[in-house]
Amino acid sequence: MKTKRIFIDKDNIDKELIEEAGRIIKEGGLVAFPTETVYGLGGDALNSFSSEKIYKAKGRPSDNPLIVHIASMEALDPITEDIPENAIKLSRAFWPGPMTLVFRKSERVPSETTGGLSTVAVRMPDNKVALSFIEASGGYIAAPSANRSGKPSPTSADRVMEDMDGIIDMVIDGGRSAIGLESTIIDVTEEIPMILRPGYINGEMIKRVTGSVSYDPAVFGKEEPGQKPKAPGMRYRHYAPRGQLVIVKGEKARVLSYMKGELEKCREKGISCGLMVCDLKDTVKDFEASCDLLFDMGSFEREEEIAANLYEALRSFDDRNIEKIYSMEFYTPKLGQAIMNRLIKAAGHMVIELGSD
């Protein structure tokens, strides 16, 4: 299959091209499209065959449900059984935006789209290209992130093409994703809204709207034996570069000196190695010379930048075939939980904790 790549400017949307993309979806095809979180791999959410195609294109287990993307509040009613009060409050506060709500599903949503669950996850993205594309497609786009399963999510059309060229019908290039982390998933079927996956909209922001919030234990990676995470996707190895990523935890000076030692060992053994760091200031050149690729994530004071860089960083180590990657922790105030949730998964929980002297 030839994958057509088109560019759409959000400030001057080409109607004809958007209609063409919409037609592909209506005919059961797949189109990757930009959102403010990451690029999505879209198919018709109400067509079971389209959902099956998405799983196949991604190589994703079919019990890991897809998020249904909508472009207006009116679209919510036909696909849900009921719309709880908290959902109305949250959607008023954060839609369009990086927040997904889990509802009881109506019969219109095929079980292939929801991985067999009786609930459906819904989001209205904050991206003009995405919204016009959803409208042109009939209003319901099922879309997981547009990467092959297990790999870091794509935040640009180039990264989508790397994984999906020849596999899907079209890629809409709408520039870099502004946020760069997947949406916060909140289960609103519970009395107290429950965060199933952390994201840009954090617990504090949700609590201000609903008065209370709870967390699925899987958010903290603390699954009790026999207890499954409520967002099935939290179970799988995810976001991972091909090389081994190791997170080093502790006081900054100790972390840096430990990394230095490890990089030297890699060099001696002829292992290619990389670093994910921020705020190194004067020492950055020194560290750059000690490894094969240093990815400067930005600054702790600009946490949005760290989030937006995360997946691009992970993929750029793959570009250079880096075998071992050391990363600092990025527990920033607002986005730290979401960033670290992804980073820890990408590292396969490989975290080295340096004690204090």
Give the footprint of ligand AMP on this chain (CB under 6 A).
64-65, 67, 102, 114, 117, 119-121, 144-145, 182, 185, 196-197, 230-234
Token readout for 189 is 């079927």
Is residue 47 involved in binding Mg ion (CB under 5 A)?
no
Q: What are phi and psi of 42, to 5 degrees?
A: -95, 145
Q: Which does 121 bind (CB under 5 to 8 A by kind): ligand AMP, Mg ion, none?
A: ligand AMP
Output the residue with the shortest Cβ distance to ligand AMP. Answer: 233
Q: How far is the CB of 153 from Mg ion (least distance, A)?
A: 5
Per-residue interface string for the shown chain with Mg ion, residues 94-133, x marking contact by CB under 5 A: ----------------------------------------
Our finding on whether 145 is near Mg ion (CB under 5 A) is yes
Q: How far is the CB of 69 from ligand AMP (least distance, A)?
A: 10
Which CA distances in Å does 291 have to 16, 121, 151, 183, 312? 48, 42, 23, 33, 18
- Give the closest residue to 17 by CA, choosing from 26, 27, 7, 25: 7
In the complex with Mg ion, which residue's Cβ is closer, 69 or 324?
69
Residue 232's binding partner, choosing from ligand AMP, Mg ion, none, with beta-carbon cut-off 5 to 8 A by kind? ligand AMP
Where do the H-state alpha helices sit in 66-165?
Answer: 76-79, 85-94, 128-136, 157-164
Q: Answer with the entry of ligand AMP, Mg ion, none that 110 interacts with (C-beta below 5 to 8 A by kind).
A: none
Smallest separation (angstroms) from ligand AMP to the CB of 116: 10
Residue 68 CB, nearest approach to ligand AMP (Å): 8
Let me know: does 218 contact 293? Beta carbons within 8 Å: no
Residues touching Mg ion, count (CB under 5 A): 1
Q: Which residue number, 196 or 308, has a Cβ lying nearer to ligand AMP? A: 196
The CB-of-92 to ligand AMP minimum distance in angstroms stands at 22
Q: Give me the least distance between CB of 11 and Mg ion, in Å please.
A: 28
Sheet holding 170-173: strands in order across?
4-7, 170-173, 31-33, 40-44, 141-142, 67-69, 119-123, 99-104, 184-187, 194-197, 214-215
Return d(Cα 345, Cα 233) in angstroms, integer.
Answer: 11
Among candidate residues 182, 180, 159, 160, the one with its CA nearest the CA of residue 171: 160
- Closer residue to ligand AMP, CB minimum distance, 65 or 241: 65
Binding site for Mg ion (CB under 5 A): 145
